[in-house]
């Protein structure tokens, strides 16, 4: 369990009895059923599971982009914390320069053009994108776009940072570098991070805690703490702890993955 | 990643970027399309026409030689009549595009954003869009009397639909992630429209504007033939009734030039307003 350093900006997340039902052509689909979960302030929690297990739905509900059919999400004493989200497909606006994209949250908050530009510039500098602020997204590589998306999420100083498979569209090497980056950025501010991924190993390497989801409706089938020192990197993948936990998670979801593929278990 | 090292050694960043962006192919330079072949074809046709008409191979009464048309162009330019007609048509089209374009865009944004508005208005769009707008010209002439207003309204009606349909398509095809990004940053309604919806729809809107201007020209010429005392359509009609065949050609070629100019202008506007679209546009 992570100890709350004085620097923590994150807030706790309490999920109580959250159910989400979608209407589809073939009737009702239960994405989540009576899910209860508490996430500690400033922790890095990974949600891992096969397609259709409801992990992205849960993330959208925490983000407030989707309302639960029943149940509620609360954030401790803070009723309306600053929340930001990084999507799988960067989601940068193609019609804005990188700088304006990054400053979007500040623009929405009514900050004047001059101060928001200088804040965006400063953050882009820190992320090594300083000289690309006036470029449009289509002029940047995939890894740079995704870092731009992270910068946009961070500039509003979020207390809750939600990431929906942020690196799954990147090549394996860019992914390794950005996994380092996100750990570093999180260690600086200690937002409460909820990180959704398909990648079991990534979940164990990044998370303080890994929640394994499976089934329809989605349920939490495993709840693991990962107690390795940070920053964690490629070498940790060979540690006993990571290997054991990765295997255990895989065993918990393999059946569902096979069913999704219509393969025998 | 090369660019990160490039950042630490600033001198190395530029080549790294070029390399990294080759997959998106954006840094390609704009290549002017070659006009050599079409120009050559036009010259050959004109020369053949000139020789054919002066030597009597083709009927020079109906197909006056280009030299005669050029002289007619010069004299209508000199007495100011050609520019007066061109100006009258242009002004009508501009008014119509302003009115119809605004109406089409407002309705298109509303219908693209709200399923309820769309459901309420879609049947009317479906019914009125195919109606040849010129069919109601007599009615408008009765209501407003002879003058520019009924003509502008008819042209505006023709402009409204392509603008509406394209704007609606552009708005309803916005990437849902972009709307999620706006929501999570708590952007206000007006900011969402101004910074997300309109720019996202801009390429479709400009495509609609191109269609709308072509439709406007079509309707303008038609209504001017029937109910105007100026304009390129009126010039064509008057030249027929007074049997000034060469002036028909002058007006038709002017109309062609007008259409070409408008399309070129839209292409230019697209390049200036939607630089991010360049790659996809070609």
Decide which of A112, A130, A156 is a domain's last residue: A156
- Selected residue with higher pLDDT from B15 and A126: A126
Per the prediction, chain B carries an average pLDDT of 86
Using a CB-CB cut-off of 8 Å, the residues of chain A touching B195 are 93, 96, 104, 107
Name the residue range of residue A134's domain.
88-156
Mark whether A93 and A52 lie in a shared domain: no
Using a CB-CB cut-off of 8 Å, the residues of chain B touching A141 are 3, 17, 20-21, 23-24
Predicted confidence at residue B29, as pLDDT, reads 53
Using a CB-CB cut-off of 8 Å, the residues of chain B touching A95 are 199-200, 202, 274, 276
Across the interface, of B27, B180, B187, the residue whose CB is closest to A108 is: B187
Using a CB-CB cut-off of 8 Å, the residues of chain A touching B182 are 104, 108
The two tokens of residue B172 are: 């309803």
B107 touches B161 (CB < 8 A): no
Q: What percent of chain B has pLDDT over 90?
A: 70
pLDDT, tens digit, 9 for 90 and up, residues B238-282: 999 999 999 999 999 999 999 999 999 999 988 888 877 654 433
The answer to whether the Cβ–Cβ distance between A156 and B185 falls below 8 Å is yes
Q: Is the peptide bond before A131 cis (omega within 30 degrees of 0)?
A: no
The answer to whether the Cβ–Cβ distance between B180 and A141 falls below 8 Å is no
Report whether pLDDT(B120) > 90: yes
Mark whether A162 and A248 lie in a shared domain: yes
What is the residue whose two structure tokens read 């954030």? A75
Sign of CA dihedral A245, A247, A249, A252: negative
Mark whether A175 and A204 lie in a shared domain: yes
Cα angle: A78, vertex A79, A80; to 5 degrees: 95
**Cβ-based neighbours of B59, under 8 Å, separated by 6 or more:** none
Mark whether A168 and A139 lie in a shared domain: no
Is the CB of residue B12 less than 8 Å away from at least one CB of chain A? no
The two tokens of residue B39 are: 């120009």
CA distance B184 to chain A (A): 6
The two tokens of residue A106 are: 């500040």
Q: What does the DSSP assignment read for chain B?
A: -HHHHHHHSGGGHHHHHHHHTTTTTTTPPP-PPP-HHHHHHHHHHHHHHHHHHHHTSS-TTTS--HHHHHHHHHHHHHTSHHHHHHHHHHHHHHHHHHHHHHHHHHHHHHHHH-HHHHHHHHHHHHHHTTS-GGGGHHHHHHHH-SSHHHHHHHHHHHHHHHHHHHHHHHHHTS-HHHHHHHHHTT--HHHIIIIIIHHHHHHHHHHHHHHHHHHHHHHHHHHHHHH-SSSHHHHHHHHHHTT-HHHHHHHHHHHHHHHHHHHHHHHHHHHHH-GGGHHHH-
Sign of CA dihedral A23, A24, A26, A30: negative
Tell me the ipTM for this assembly.
0.88
Q: From A140, A154, A227, A226, select the one nearest A184 (Cα to Cα).
A: A154
Mark whether A109 and A11 lie in a shared domain: no
Mark whether A146 and A164 lie in a shared domain: no
Mark whether A109 and A75 lie in a shared domain: no
Predicted confidence at residue B33, as pLDDT, reads 66
Give the nearest chain B residue to A131 (CA atoms): B7
Sign of CA dihedral A164, A166, A167, A169: positive
Report whether pLDDT(B15) > 80: no
The radius of gyration of chain B from alpha carbons, rounded to an integer in Å, stands at 25
Report whether pLDDT(A78) > 70: yes
Domain map of chain B by residue range? 79-281
The radius of gyration of chain A from alpha carbons, rounded to an integer in Å, stands at 19
Predicted confidence at residue B59, as pLDDT, reads 87
Stretch (H or E) spanning A76: none
Mark whether A121 and A213 lie in a shared domain: no
Is the CB of residue B98 less than 8 Å away from at least one CB of chain A? no
Across the interface, of A91, A107, A131, the residue whose CB is closest to B177 is: A91
Mark whether A69 and A194 lie in a shared domain: yes
Report whether pLDDT(B18) > 80: no
**Cβ-based neighbours of A242, under 8 Å, separated by 6 or more:** A201, A204, A205, A226, A228, A236
The answer to whether the Cβ–Cβ distance between B276 and A136 falls below 8 Å is yes
Decide which of A137, A156, A175 is a domain's last residue: A156
CA distance A227 to chain B (A): 29
A81 touches A159 (CB < 8 A): yes
CA distance B174 to chain A (A): 11
Interface of B with A in 199-258 (CB under 8 A): 199-200, 202
Phi, psi (degrees; rounded to nearest 5) at A72: -150, 155
Instruction: Work out how many domains chain A is built from and give that number.
Output: 2
Residue A63 belongs to domain with CATH number = 3.40.50.300
d(CA A151, CA B69): 64
Decide which of A110, A138, A156 is a domain's last residue: A156
Q: Is the peptide bond before A217 cis (omega within 30 degrees of 0)?
A: yes
d(CA B178, CA B184): 10
Phi, psi (degrees; rounded to nearest 5) at B206: -70, -35
Using a CB-CB cut-off of 8 Å, the residues of chain A touching B1 are 143, 173-174, 177
CATH domain B79-281 topology: MetI-like fold (1.10.3720)
Q: Which residues of B267-279 are buried (b: 16+ CB within 10 A; e: fewer)?
A: eeebeeebebbee
What is the residue whose two structure tokens read 């805690």? A209
Kindly list the distances between the CA atom of residue B157 and the CA atoms of A39, A83, A259, in Å, as whole numbers in the listed order: 58, 46, 56
Under the banding of pLDDT at 50, 70 and 90, the label for residue B160 is very high
Mark whether A73 and A190 lie in a shared domain: yes
Under the banding of pLDDT at 50, 70 and 90, the label for residue B31 is low
Predicted confidence at residue B10, as pLDDT, reads 40
B255 touches B93 (CB < 8 A): no
Q: From A135, A134, A93, select the one nearest B20 (Cα to Cα).
A: A135
């Amino acid at each position: 369990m992570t100890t709350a350093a004085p620097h923590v900006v994150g807030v706790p997340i309490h999920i109580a009895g959250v159910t989400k039902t979608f209407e589809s052509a073939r009737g009702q689909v239960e994405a989540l059923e009576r899910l209860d979960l508490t996430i500690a302030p400033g922790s890095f929690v990974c949600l891992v599971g096969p397609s259709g297990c409801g992990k992205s739905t849960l993330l959208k509900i925490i983000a407030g982009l989707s309302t639960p059919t029943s149940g509620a999400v609360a954030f401790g004493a803070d009723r309306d914390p600053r929340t930001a989200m990084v999507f799988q497909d960067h989601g940068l606006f193609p019609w804005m320069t990188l700088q304006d994209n990054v400053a979007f949250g500040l623009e929405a908050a009514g900050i004047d053009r001059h101060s928001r530009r200088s804040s965006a510039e400063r953050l882009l500098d820190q992320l090594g994108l300083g000289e690309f602020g006036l470029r449009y997204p289509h002029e940047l590589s995939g890894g740079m776009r995704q870092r731009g998306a992270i910068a946009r999420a961070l500039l509003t100083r979020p207390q809750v940072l939600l990431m929906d498979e942020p690196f799954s569209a990147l090549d394996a090497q860019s992914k390794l570098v950005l996994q380092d980056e996100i750990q570093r950025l999180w260690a600086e501010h200690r937002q409460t991070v909820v990180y959704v991924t398909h990648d079991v190993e990534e979940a164990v390497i990044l998370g303080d805690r890994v929640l394994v989801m499976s089934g329809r409706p989605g349920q939490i089938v495993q709840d693991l703490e990962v107690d390795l020192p940070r920053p964690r990197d490629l070498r940790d993948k060979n540690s006993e702890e990571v290997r054991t936990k990765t295997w255990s998670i895989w065993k918990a979801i393999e059946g569902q993955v096979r069913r999704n593929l219509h393969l025998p278990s | 990643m090369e660019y990160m090292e490039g950042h630490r050694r600033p001198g190395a960043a530029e080549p790294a970027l070029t390399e990294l962006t080759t997959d998106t192919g954006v840094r390609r330079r704009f290549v002017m399309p070659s006009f050599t072949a079409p120009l050559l074809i036009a010259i050959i046709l004109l020369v053949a026409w000139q020789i054919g008409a002066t030597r009597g191979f083709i009927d020079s009464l109906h197909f006056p030689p280009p030299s005669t048309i050029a002289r007619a162009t010069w004299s209508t330019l000199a007495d100011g009549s050609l520019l007066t007609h061109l100006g009258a048509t242009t002004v009508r089209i501009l008014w119509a595009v302003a009115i119809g374009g605004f109406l089409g865009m407002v309705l298109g944004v509303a219908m693209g954003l709200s399923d309820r508005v769309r459901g309420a208005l879609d049947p009317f769009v479906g019914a009125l869009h195919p109606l040849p707008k010129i069919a109601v010209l007599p009615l408008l002439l009765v209501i407003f009397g002879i003058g520019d207003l009924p003509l502008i309204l008819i042209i505006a009606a023709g402009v409204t639909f392509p603008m509406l349909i394209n704007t609606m398509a552009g708005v309803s095809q916005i990437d849902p992630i972009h709307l999620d990004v706006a929501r999570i940053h708590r952007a206000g309604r007006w900011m969402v429209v101004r910074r997300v919806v309109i720019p996202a729809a801009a390429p479709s809107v400009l495509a609609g504007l191109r269609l709308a201007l072509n439709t406007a020209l079509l309707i303008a010429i038609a209504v001017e033939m029937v109910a105007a005392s100026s304009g390129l359509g009126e010039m064509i009609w008057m030249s027929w009734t007074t049997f000034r065949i060469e002036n028909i050609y002058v007006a038709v070629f002017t109309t062609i030039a007008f259409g070409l100019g408008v399309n070129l202008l839209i292409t230019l506007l697209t390049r200036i307003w939607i630089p991010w679209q360049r790659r996809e546009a070609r």
